[in-house]
Amino acid sequence: MIISTQIGAREGSSLDADEALSTRLRDLALVDLDALTVGLDGAGAQELAAAYADDVADALREARARLGALRKELLGPDPLNVLDLQVRQRASDAGHAGATRVRDRLVAQAEAARAFARLADLSAGLVAKLFEADRRR
């Protein structure tokens, strides 16, 4: 059984999906295969290594899907294309609403970039563990 507590969380709020995936990747990276299989016979150690490898591969597949979604979020129209507008267009009342949209889009891209970097970094640390576990199958 795994119990998770979120400090400062409001009742009814769900755990952020990226945070849950990050936690899973971090937890899998903490596993030491030698310590995990100590005292087991060859078949038992192979079975445990295979189960670990399957779990790591599943987590990395989930990370790959999320990284793809974040990559798509980063692509798209350049929010700073407002620099190509005439000064009077940016200065108009509609320009104020446009400034808000540009700011919101830049903030969303920055958040996606941070999430992408975090998940890519955590995934990179697990690849070697997956290869090692596959060798022990």
- What digits encode the pLDDT tens for the residues 67-121? 999 999 888 788 888 888 788 777 776 767 888 888 999 999 999 999 999 999 9
- N- to C-terminal Cα distance for the chain? 27
Q: What is the pLDDT of residues 10-33, one digit of tens each?
A: 444 344 889 999 999 999 999 999
Please give the structure tokens belonging to residue 112.
């996606």
Sign of CA dihedral 7, 12, 16, 22: positive
d(C-alpha 22, C-alpha 10), whole Å? 21
Q: How far is CA 137 from CA 55, 57, 96, 129, in A?
A: 13, 14, 61, 13
